[in-house]
Amino acid sequence: MWKESNWAGWRVVAKLDPDKYIDAETMLRVAGAGFDAIMVGGTQGITREKTLKLLGLIMQSGFKGPVVQEVTIAEVVAQGNVQAYFLPLVLNAGDIMWLSGMHHQAIMRYGDRIPWNITLAEGYVICNSHSAAGRLTETRPVSVPHARAYCDLAENILGLPLLYLEYSGIFGDPGLVETVARQRKKIHLFYGGGINSADRARIMAALVDTIVVGNVIYENPASVEDIVKAAKSA
Ligand code: 1GP
């Protein structure tokens, strides 16, 4: 497992999608905005070529922090080009492939070559069932009691280091996020979804350990510095 000291202090992370076009100016803006890390990953249209191209752009941008890959397809692993691999286990997946099946297959195939010391398992709860990830993994809507139970499952049964509340594309329910945050003992909480303003960043960053910022980087790059500042001061 990738050592906690490498990532537990992150407050705000940029998530860049290999399937989305990013221009050099935006990339420079992201590099200088103060993000604690860049996570590369997405749900649709992910290929090795696109992933390596994006990693090349990040390298050219001069970003100083860690760059990690969230692996959703075992065949697309950016060997040697990232500091760590984040492996999502979708706890509320309707299709067990996304909970453990893909992981099992990948280990069967690449077991000897997996650098476990730089991998990190993430318990994912996909709260937006209409998002691309929600549709792909066949999740159902998540109520507050369900979210609490998934947190218990992640922390007390599976012993995962990290739980990611994923609203991808929409701003989540701060009540649900707060309930999970209050109930957990020590599992690290990521929140992602719909953070497109400093206010939203402040609200969620006050509740969780780390917020993840995605779409707004492409839709309104001029706002990222304020979002990062807000997250860090929350
Ligand atoms: C997506 O959680 C991230 O995986 C961020 O979501 O794109 O809605 O910011 P947004």
Residue 44, SS3 per DSSP = coil
- Ligand 1: centre distance to CA 189 (Å): 15
Instruction: Give the pLDDT confidence score for residue 10 in this predicted structure.
Output: 98
> Which residue has the CA at smallest separation from atom 1 of ligand 1?
168
Contact 205, 182 (CB under 8 A): no
- List the end-to-end C-alpha distance of the chain, in Å, as a whole number: 29
pLDDT given for residue 168 in this prediction: 96
pLDDT at res. 44: 87
- pLDDT reported for residue 78: 81
CATH of the domain at 90: 3.20.20.390
Ligand 1 center from residue 167 Cα (angstroms): 7
Range of the domain at 116: 4-233
Q: Is the CB of 165 under 6 A from ligand 1?
A: no
Q: How many domains does the chain have?
A: 1
Atom 9 in ligand 1: residue holding the nearest Cα:
214
Backbone torsions φ then ψ of 42, nearest 5 degrees? -170, -175
Contact 163, 189 (CB under 8 A): yes
Distance 213 CA to ligand 1 centre (A): 6
Q: What is the pLDDT of residue 111?
A: 81
Average pLDDT per block of 10 residues along the chain, 234 residues long: 97 97 96 98 91 95 96 84 95 96 92 92 97 94 97 98 97 98 97 98 98 98 98 96
pTM for the complete prediction? 0.96
Fill in the DSSP letter of residue 40: E
- State the closest ligand 1 atom to the C-alpha of 195, by its place in the atom list counted from 1: 9
